Amino acid sequence: MEDGAWLKSRDPLVHQMGEGGVSDELKSLYMKEELDDPADEIRTILPSEIPGGSIHVLVVVPKLRVENDHDWLSIVRGLHRGVVEYNEASAYLPHKLSKSFSNAAVGQMEMERLKKNQLLIDFAPIENGEAFWSEETQMLADAITDEAVFNAFVTPYFNAILDVYGLVLVNSAKCGWLSESTPVTKNADITPNGFATHRGMYRGKPEPKDRVQRPSGFRFGVAEEDLFDCLILFESKIKIDNSGIGQVVRYLENLCPKESASAILFDCRSFWLIRSERAVFTEIQRARWTTKGSKSLFENFIHGNISHLAARLSLACLHWHVNVAEGDAFLGRGAYGRVFKVTGRGGEDFALKIVEKCSVGRLYREEKALATAQRTGLTISPVRKLFETLKARRYCCLQLGNLCLNQWNDSKC
């Protein structure tokens, strides 16, 4: 209050507000859309001995709230900058509006934009860091002139890293699985060299008869369309050029046109780690295989781009002691979730459903409905309790099913 006049602790109004109450007079102010003179309105409910003049409200904000507000404003400013940068990037990419550009032209435009915006980063060596492979191995790679042979050469190195994170590398160069779409039609399938994903998130295919000598442990297959958001694209070239970069742009346009995605473009001398948002490259880091620290760079990229669903599938299998049927596990989306065929230690087949947290209420209702209808002839019944994964991003449900007509019956999943 002005002139040092404050409400006294004995004032009824102060006592009422201290108890969490609000006077009828103050409530009446809430209902007014406009106040011609807020000070006059407030003065009518204050003790008469308070002198006239300006009325001020003193608010004590907890320190933590101030810090949180500052953090929030910083986040908002960062998001705003990101939106501006993305809009600029989108406007700069005419290939997103026309299919008439060649891969080489698209790649050239992309490289110019990346360099202009300083989004193309050359990895600096790390003292005492481990290289992806040795100089001796590099000499072997340099001698390879066939792309399929190079894929066979490099795949075991990729497998060793991916296995640590519960992922597998699936070779798909001979299997057309990614449709080059337009808003109206779908054209011929295009064929990325491969992709990394969870072992339960691809459809296995037989090894191609191309006379390429491959070590054991190779996987061949195609990605599941409903799981495109759960993979890291791999594309190989004998030598990376604008055409190869444009090709990856095309892949990501059709793979995740409205979401974030990641890809690794590599040749005999180097690898490029690509992050994109709505098919627009947001950053590329490139390094030579023999650069010190390049192995940890590659590992960190894999770790940072594992899909949440792949991580939750691994966690759910570990929790319930079940295994996915590799290369033939994905049953479909089901109701509000994605469903996988898993096998228990005793050989029992189960349907494992994973849903987002926003759909957990539906999952509980589904569990209750199945439990209620167990004696009505349904072929599926819930087993064990629902399981909440870490960070509460997804919930999992395990269901027992019977095989009908030699097919997995997932109509009730």
Distance CA 389, CA 268 (A): 40
* Backbone φ and ψ of 56, nearest 5°: -115, 150
Q: What is the DSSP letter of 337?
A: S
Distance CA 170, CA 151 (A): 11
- Beta-strand pair 349-356/330-332: unpaired
Helices (H), 182-329: 242-255, 294-304, 308-320
CB-based contacts of 207, cutoff 8 Å, min separation 6: 214, 218, 220
Distance CA 247, CA 265 (A): 10
**Is 353 marked as a binding-site residue?**
yes
* Token pair belonging to 281: 């490259």
Distance CA 277, CA 342 (A): 33
Q: 81-116 burial string, b = 16+ CB within 10 Å, else e? A: eeeeeeeebeeebebbeeeebebeebbbbbbebbee
Tell me the three state secondary structure of residue 374.
Answer: helix
Q: Give DSSP secondary structure letters for 86-123.
A: HHHHHHH-GGGT-S-S-HHHHHHHHHHHHHHTT-EEEP
- Residue stretches of the annotated binding site for ATP: 353
Annotated binding site: 353
